[in-house]
Amino acid sequence: MTPEFVVHLGQQAIYLMLLISAPMLISGLVVGLSISILQAVTQIHEVTLTFIPKILVVSVALMIALPWMVQKMLDFMRALLLQIPSITA
């Protein structure tokens, strides 16, 4: 196992983590930004107003994206397990 392989594996793992977390992060960002704009326009500065919509939207995004996320994780793990013989040799 070379240092280059370990670095490449780490890069793949970080990329996969970012890719898998993107649907929830982006949906939370969009809802949070839109509620912040709404609060700025209407001058309603209620802190708890952002929590419920964010939780609901992130939960829905998780339910929608979960099969895709699991498939990506399984593909990564399958590729990693298939590489074990070449890593140890």
**42-60: pLDDT as tens digits:** 888 887 888 899 999 999 9
The first and second tokens of residue 36, run together, are 């912040």
Give the per-residue pLDDT at 89. Answer: 65
Decide: 67 and 14 in contact? Cβ < 8 Å: no
Decide: 48 and 71 in contact? Cβ < 8 Å: no
Question: Global pTM?
Answer: 0.80
Give the per-residue pLDDT at 87. Answer: 80
